Structure 1
């Protein structure tokens, strides 16, 4: 038997021990290493919370779009119901054209927020200035046969687009309520059995309706009615039928 030198023996044993330790380190897992490190960690609660938040944001977004569309539809409908006020009402008060300020003690009071406006024509000549209209209204007032000898109209509109106060928004003659819907009596100054009202008159009428609603004298769902005098003012009635509030 061949004996190995001592230094070779020590080298062999040392190498054997190193290889043995290496194999143990490779084959035997560390006992203090947690098993969770070998698998991806899942957090179901966080995923559920994220899903809920995203769903709520989508619901809010969709609701905002729906509300926006609804408000746009309402705006379009309101433009069809209430005509826009393009110009302020050109109102001439009763005291401006009637210095006598005729007594109106026999007049009755209107209820709050009327739902009807009856439109007629005065069946007189037209007027197109404050001076000529004042003279015309004073003549009509002097020839009035209604209660207390006053004009029966609540307001009158001239050819140049001015609104003249008659009985005003809050008063009416008892006789005017028997054959017409309870509401304001609006007169177009002139005779319209053959000719239509002027563009200024129509625009002022729209301004009058809008102002009456905004001041809460008229209900937003008010209706417009026509009434015959001696002859039917066909051109006037035909024009009024273009208003969305016209009632057949």
Structure 2
């Protein structure tokens, strides 16, 4: 009888490798604070909500990281939230910044946080158009999230204004996402009553 010796190799991956899923700038990389509490998001989710921060735009790594830190301070200190509201933030530099991420419930769209991923573009897009780099980053993030199993294969993209009373994601950004193949105007089964 031949004995087969099996060897199992256990790899321990650095924390940044695991968190850098989909090329996201991690909380550690943008010098963010840890959340005060977390709630796990049941995945995969079928809804991606696009919004904007209604803040100054950013186009460099330094200014975008500073904007994300400022936004986190606002959410923690002024709004008394556990963390940043949006799951991810996207700068005009074409980089995606980690908020609660794929795994944790965010606080971005009242009534929809426990069943969606919120992606917020940094800036005010009522009059300004998002950069091509920011749009490409959002599309790549969503595609990666679907490929990695964070999003359902038949996920839908909507603007926050379709679900709650807000101007977000701003007229110019809303016009852009309405041309994405995964955007929907059919809110049956999505919109809360």
Q: Same fold (TM over 0.5)?
A: yes
Q: Deviations 1:204-241 (Å, cap 9, x if unpaired)?
A: 11100111011110111000010137535111111001
Match of 1:35 in 2: none
1:237 equivalent in alignment to 2:174: yes
- The yes-or-no answer on 1:192 pairing with 2:125 is yes
Aligned equivalents of 1:218, 1:186: Cα separation in 2 = 13
Partner of 2:55: 124
What value does the CA root-mean-square deviation take over the aligned residues? 2.2
Q: Which runs of 5+ in 1 are unaligned?
A: 1-87
Residues 108 and 118 in structure 2, CA contact (< 8 A), matched pair in contact too: no
The answer to whether the Cα contact below 8 Å between 2:92 and 2:122 also exists between their aligned partners in 1 is yes
When the two structures are aligned, how many residues end up with a matched partner? 158
Alpha carbons of structure 1 residues 180 and 95: separation in structure 2 relative to 1, 3 Å: closer
1:108 deviation in Å? Answer: 1.8
Structure 2: gaps spanning 5 or more residues: 1-20, 186-193
Aligned match of 1:183:
116
CA distance in structure 1 between the aligned counterparts of 2:40 and 2:179, rounded to whole angstroms: 31
8 Å contact from structure 1 (residues 90, 204) kept in 2: no
Q: Which residue of 1 aligns with 2:34?
A: 102
Q: 1:213-228 residue pairs with structure 2 within 5 A?
A: 213-228=146-161
- Kindly indicate whether the alpha-carbon contact (under 8 Å) linking 2:86 and 2:120 is maintained by their aligned counterparts in 1: yes
Q: Deviations over 1:16-50 (max 9, x none)?
A: xxxxxxxxxxxxxxxxxxxxxxxxxxxxxxxxxxx
Other-structure match for 1:247: 184
Verify the 8 A CA contact 1:91 1:164 in the aligned structure 2.
Answer: yes
Query: Which whole-Å CA distance do the structure 1 matches of 2:113 and 2:100 have between them?
Result: 17
Match of 1:64 in 2: none
Change (3 A) 1:130 1:175: closer
Inter-CA distance 189–164: structure 2 relative to 1 (3 Å threshold): same
Secondary structure class of the residue paired with 2:93? coil
- Structure-1-length-normalised TM-score: 0.59
Instruction: Point out the structure with max Rg over C-alpha.
Output: 1
